[in-house]
Amino acid sequence: MGLDDIYEFALVADPDGPPISAAHWPAIQHHIMHLQPAASVQLEGDPPRTIRVQSFGGNEMTQGLLREVERLASTQLHVEDADTDQP
């Protein structure tokens, strides 16, 4: 698998909402790694407001997986393409 096969995107907490709860981080990471599937999943920020994902399957996430991650993270999230958050 080449570098062209990996897509990066971010799951970002809504600005007016709570940060991402790290209480269930291992479960969040497991769900994304295995169901997306992803090469890498990282929690960013203090308090955490972003989950950075390097995915094998593209830069989209199914609604079911997104809702489960939101439940575990205790906040609403939206998907941002890696290109949209760069200057």
SS (H, E, C) the chain: CCHHHCEEEEEEECCCCCCCCCCCHHHHHHHHHHHCCEEEEEEEECCEEEEEEEECCCCCCCHHHHHHHHHHHCCCEEEEEHHHHCC
What are the residue boundaries of the structural domains of the chain, listed by start? 3-85
Whether residue 26 is predicted with pLDDT greater than 90 in this model: the reply is yes
Q: What is the pLDDT of residue 57?
A: 76
Q: Which CATH number fits domain 3-85: 2.30.38, 3.30.70, 1.10.3210, 1.25.40?
A: 3.30.70
Mean pLDDT of the region 8-29: 97
Q: What is the pLDDT of residue 66?
A: 97
Q: Kindly indicate the confidence band of residue 82, based on its pLDDT and cuts at 50, 70 and 90.
A: confident
- List pLDDT tens digits, range 33-70: 999 999 999 999 999 999 999 999 788 899 999 999 99
Q: What is the pLDDT of residue 30?
A: 97
